[in-house]
Chains A and B, each alone.
Chain A
Amino acid sequence: DIQLTQSPSFLSASVGDRVTITCRASQGISSHLAWYQKKPGTAPKLLIYAASALQSGVPSRFSGSGSETEFTLTITSLQSEDFAEYYCQQLNSFPLTFGGGTKVE
């Protein structure tokens, strides 16, 4: 099974900050990685797919990069509505797996 390790687990930030979250895969997954935002009481929201493609309707302050085993999600100029949990997910092979999550507070 492919393990995804996210860092950091918690991130303290302020409005306007640049935020970077890292996701490392235990083996190469090409660009088959997605990022999701999760807020309490709501369903996860797809932000980035194929490592760097911005999902329709997602603000351009969100960006993704990386390939194979090292990936990053960057939020430039953090907004109040961005305080949430973020998860990476590998879509390369079953069982599909999520990272442990990063809480941005």
Chain B
Amino acid sequence: VQLLQSGGGLIEPGGSLRLYCAASGFKFSGYAMTWVRQAPGKGLEWVSTVSNDDTTHYADSVRGRFTVSRDKSKNMLYLQMNSLRGEDTAFYYCAKDAAVAGFDYWGQGILVTVSS
């Protein structure tokens, strides 16, 4: 199992950024996928989940600004982040979601910095 992330970087407040997570080594279409973030000096925060039936869930802090999606034909997970704020600055991780068995595989993480 491998989850390879890309797409982070420095963005000004109010801007948009898209994160990518390329999955391999497992049946991507059969699992939910999740985004988790960790702001500098803070704890882990669940951001969003897309279920294997494409149902989506969001934390209140990002609902209406972030959109999670997946392309099962490409084994790709995405996080579209709009109207970015300083408090969105964090390392973002994608994870394979085994439901009540936890998040068993993680991407390497990618830094998003929102600053002018």
Contact = CB atoms under 8 A, between A and B. Distances in A.
B43 A34 contact: no
A49 B49 contact: no
Contact of A50 (B45, B93, B101): B101
Contacts, number: 67
Interface in A64-105: 85, 87, 89, 91-92, 94-101
Given A31-B100, A43-B106, A53-B101, 17 more contacts: A38-B38, A42-B109, A44-B44, A44-B93, A44-B106, A45-B106, A46-B103, A49-B98, A55-B104, A89-B102, A91-B102, A95-B58, A95-B59, A95-B60, A96-B46, A97-B46, A101-B43
Interface of A: 31-32, 34, 36, 38, 42-46, 49-50, 53, 55, 85, 87, 89, 91-92, 94-101
